[in-house]
Structures are given as structure tokens and as C-alpha cells.
């Protein structure tokens, strides 16, 4: 049998016990230290780190109260709260041993012990220690990941009046647990706002789970969001938690919620009302505690009137509603955003800092940016890569001198949002000769989202 990779300390005033335990345990454990005087424990712990400490409960002659054992156990845990302590006691002191467990001991051993029992207890306890260390390591890593993610999404840039209203609302609602509905066109930064709310909330040290509902097929909706049990369907080879369980104690962000079919809306509403999920293949209800933030670019109120979206679900998800302005509604923020993206991409590609000349800045402000901030971001990245000068010109952004084709002012005044979007998509697709990837990039959409709109509008 391979030796256990551990360092164990045995503290007992009976030298015979120490000798017998050491001789036996050295056959099975890498390092075994013994100590007869408990007063030396503080010095030992300053110089050594033990995976496990076996501690006698009585040291003075004729002592049976166990007070000494409790005293030194508390001292050990005071020095190192992660210490694993096994109390050594006689048959008559089982009640003391149980009290010791309540006060912080991990286990207890009755003496005289059988060697197999001793080894089994130590082995089991060491495995528990390993599990605790791994759990703490996972928690530490989670905190680092959460911090890194929050750092990556820390910047909410905007000095315009419309953005200041949004930021003030974010500040007010973040400290509550109210359900939030974020409305805005594609590319306006809805997830950025959702993450800002999470980062300023009481759940900031917990996870933020983002779910693109537009990318989840109807057949996968329940398994993805609510989880499944092994064998629930053909490819269910193991139990798996859904996104709601994964977000427990944290925040779940449901993007493109307007894309859900009526039947899926009902299933989601049931979970939100009951605050419980049931994994596919089981009947067991699992309680969930999540902060809900939803987002969409679709006209939900109009969809309610057309019986395409459940009114009760809309009421459930929008305790507070935040409307994100399009980039053309916050023109004064464009230069700030461009400068921000120039910093990012010049550093990323190790290029000397580039800047805009005044004519380029004016051209960017006149452009309508149908893909909003996402389109602007891609344009800046492309300009940083392609431009050979430190001074960026309008042609570096592939913006023509005449934006009339994309200017919303030239669209018929009686067009609604869907008609405007349809015309814009058709123009951009034509512009790129039917290349969906390029059209999606300019519009600030994913290919899947653009295909859905093409199908929707019959283009």
C-alpha cells in the first residue's frame, strides 16, 4: 500500500501511546511527529504545517474532565482555523468527545484503538481535509474569475444626458434585488449594463451567468436552463445543473428574451414564480436564489398586444425598466468611445497610440451607426489594424463621404421600427453582395441573429 502523502502530529502525555502510534503510522504516512507536552504546540505550529493533529483530551495526572483537551484544541484552531483535529479519549469520555466535535474537532478516537481503526480514521479525515482545501481553492478561483470578469466589464462610458440617466438608474437599482428589464437596439451595451448592475449589487462576489436565449433551440431550452439527470435523453451521459442552478446566489442575465416562443415563456414564468427548477428526468424541485436581469431589442409591449408575449411574464421581469439609448441618440459620446477603443486596440496590437483628426471625428458623429457601439468598436479595431498613419482619416473607418444611404433622416416618416430594420438589413446585405458574415458584422449582429431577421422579414 502506497504511503499517504501527509504530515501528522500526535500530542499525548503517554510515551507508550506515542511510540506505538508512531511505529505503526510511519509504515503508512510519510511524516509522523509526536509531542508529549501540549505547551509546545504553538511553537510546533509556527514552524510546521500539519494536515492532521491527533490530540489527547487529558494531560494532568488523574485528569478526566477533558478541559485541557478543549483548551489546546481551541488554541490550535486559533492559530490555524483550517487545522483538522482528531481527539483521543477513553471509553468513558464519549460525551466529551461529542462535545469536542461540536466545538471544532473533526473526529475522535477511542483508546486503546485497533491499528486498522486508527489508520481508517486518519485516512478518511485526510480525505476530508483534501476536499475542504479543494473547495476553498475553488472558491478562491471563483472570486478571482468574478473579479476578472467584473474588471473586463468595468467601463460604462458616457457623458451625454441620456447615458447619465441610465447610469443613475443603475446606481439606484443595483443595491436592490428587483428584476430588471433592459431595452435597446442591438449593440447598445445591454450586457454591459447588466454586468454593471451585478457588480454594484450585494451579489457581486457571486457568479454572473449570461444566457443568449436567441441561440438556444426550443428542444434544448429546458435542459440548458433547468438541467437534466443522467439518462433523461439520448446524450444525457451524466447529471448536469442548468443555468439557473449555476447562477444560484448570483445573477442570471437572459438576453434576447423576446425570442422565446409562447410555450417556453410559460415554462420560464413557472420557474420565476416558484423560484424552483426541476431537472429533466426527475420530479425533484430544486430551490434557486437568483437576481434576474433580462434584455431584448424587440417591442415587448407591442408583442403583448399581438398575443406574442405573455403579459404576466412581462410584469414579472420588469420591476424596473432601463431603456438604453442608441448611439445616434448620444452623439456626444462617440469621441469618448472611440478614444476608449483606440486605447484598447493599440495596446492589444502593440501599435503606437493613434488619434482622430477633427474632420474624422465629425464624420464619425454624422454616421448613423445602425450596429451602435458594437459596430463602432469593430470599426475602430479595423482602423487600428489597417491604417498606416497615427492620424486616422474617415476612409480608415470605411465611411463614405455621403452617408445618405444609411441616414435615417431620409427614410419615410411613416415607417415603423420593423420596416426601418428591414430596409436597413436589405441595404447592408446588398452592400456586401449577399455576404452574411460581413453584413452581420457591420450591423453588430451575430450570424444567427441576422439569419433569424432575414427569415422574419422574408429577405
Query: Across all residues in the chain, what is the average pLDDT?
Result: 86
Give the fold, CATH level 3, of 153-323: Rossmann fold (3.40.50)
Q: Tell whether domain 4-133 is in CATH 3.40.50.2300.
A: yes
Q: Nearest-CA neighbor of 249 among 293, 181, 285, 202?
A: 202
Judged by average pLDDT, the poorest of 134-143, 221-230, 282-291, 327-336 is 134-143
CA-nearest of 386, 392, 357, 377 to 442 is 377
- Report the pLDDT value the prediction gives residue 153, as an integer from 0 to 100: 42
Specify the pLDDT at position 295.
97
CA distance 268 to 334: 38
Domains 4-133 and 153-323 share a fold: yes
Structure confidence at residue 405 (pLDDT) = 44
pLDDT of residue 142: 62
- Given a cut of 50, whether residue 454 has pLDDT beyond it is yes
Q: pLDDT confidence of 65, banded at 50, 70, 90?
A: low
Please identify which residue in the block is written with the cell numbers 482555523: 81
Per-domain residue ranges of the chain: 4-133, 153-323, 326-410, 413-459
Q: What are 321's strand-pairing partners?
A: 181
Closest alpha carbon to 213 in 172, 180, 153, 254: 254
CATH for the stretch 326-410: 1.10.8.60
Distance CA 112, CA 118 (A): 10
Residue 445 — very low, low, confident or very high, per pLDDT cuts 50/70/90?
Answer: confident
Architecture of domain 413-459: Orthogonal Bundle (1.10)
Work out the average pLDDT over 65-76.
84
Amino acid at each position: 500500500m502506497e504511503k499517504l502523502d501527509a504530515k501528522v502530529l500526535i500530542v499525548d502525555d503517554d510515551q507508550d501511546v506515542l511510540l506505538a502510534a508512531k511505529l505503526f503510522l510511519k509504515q503508512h504516512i510519510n511524516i509522523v511527529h509526536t509531542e508529549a507536552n501540549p505547551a509546545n504546540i504553538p511553537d510546533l505550529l509556527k514552524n510546521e504545517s500539519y494536515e492532521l493533529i491527533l490530540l489527547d483530551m487529558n494531560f494532568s495526572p488523574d485528569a478526566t474532565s477533558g478541559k485541557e483537551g478543549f483548551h489546546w484544541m481551541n488554541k490550535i484552531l486559533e492559530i490555524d482555523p483550517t487545522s483538522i483535529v482528531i481527539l483521543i479519549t477513553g471509553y468513558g469520555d464519549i460525551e466529551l468527545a461529542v462535545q469536542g466535535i461540536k466545538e471544532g474537532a473533526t473526529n475522535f478516537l477511542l483508546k486503546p484503538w485497533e491499528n486498522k481503526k486508527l489508520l481508517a480514521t486518519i485516512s478518511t479525515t485526510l480525505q476530508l481535509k483534501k476536499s475542504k482545501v479543494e473547495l476553498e481553492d475553488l472558491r478562491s478561483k471563483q472570486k478571482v474569475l468574478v473579479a476578472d470578469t467584473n474588471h473586463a466589464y468595468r467601463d460604462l462610458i458616457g457623458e451625454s444626458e441620456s447615458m447619465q440617466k441610465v447610469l443613475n438608474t443603475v446606481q439606484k437599482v443595483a443595491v436592490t434585488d428587483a428584476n430588471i428589464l433592459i431595452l435597446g437596439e442591438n449593440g447598445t451595451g445591454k450586457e454591459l449594463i447588466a454586468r454593471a448592475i451585478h457588480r454594484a449589487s450585494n451579489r457581486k462576489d457571486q457568479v454572473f451567468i449570461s444566457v443568449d436565449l436567441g441561440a438556444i433551440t426550443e428542444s434544448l431550452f429546458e435542459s440548458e436552463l433547468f438541467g437534466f439527470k443522467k439518462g433523461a435523453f439520448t446524450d444525457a451521459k451524466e447529471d448536469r445543473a442548468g443555468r439557473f442552478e449555476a447562477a444560484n446566489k448570483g445573477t442570471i442575465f437572459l438576453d434576447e428574451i423576446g425570442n422565446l416562443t409562447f410555450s417556453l415563456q410559460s415554462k420560464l414564468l413557472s420557474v420565476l414564480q416558484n423560484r424552483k427548477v426541476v431537472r429533466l428526468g426527475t420530479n425533484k424541485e430544486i430551490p434557486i436564489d437568483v437576481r434576474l436581469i433580462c434584455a431584448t431589442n424587440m417591442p415587448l409591449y407591442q408583442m403583448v398586444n399581438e398575443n406574442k408575449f405573455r403579459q404576466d411574464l412581462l410584469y414579472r421581469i420588469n420591476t424596473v425598466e432601463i431603456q438604453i439609448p442608441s448611439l445616434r441618440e448620444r452623439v456626444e459620446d462617440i469621441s469618448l468611445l472611440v478614444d476608449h477603443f483606440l486605447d484598447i486596440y493599440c495596446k492589444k496590437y502593440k501599435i503606437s497610440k493613434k488619434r482622430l483628426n477633427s474632420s474624422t471625428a465629425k464624420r464619425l458623429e454624422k454616421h448613423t451607426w445602425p450596429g451602435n457601439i458594437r459596430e463602432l468598436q469593430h470599426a475602430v479595431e479595423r482602423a487600428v489594424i489597417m491604417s498606416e498613419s497615427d492620424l486616422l482619416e474617415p476612409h480608415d473607418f470605411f465611411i463614405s463621404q455621403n452617408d445618405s444611404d444609411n441616414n435615417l433622416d431620409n427614410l419615410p416618416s411613416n415607417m415603423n421600427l420593423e420596416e426601418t430594420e428591414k430596409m436597413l438589413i436589405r441595404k447592408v446585405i446588398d452592400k456586401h453582395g449577399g455576404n452574411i458574415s460581413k453584413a452581420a458584422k457591420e450591423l453588430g449582429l451575430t450570424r444567427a441573429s441576422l439569419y433569424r431577421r432575414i427569415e422574419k422579414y422574408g429577405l
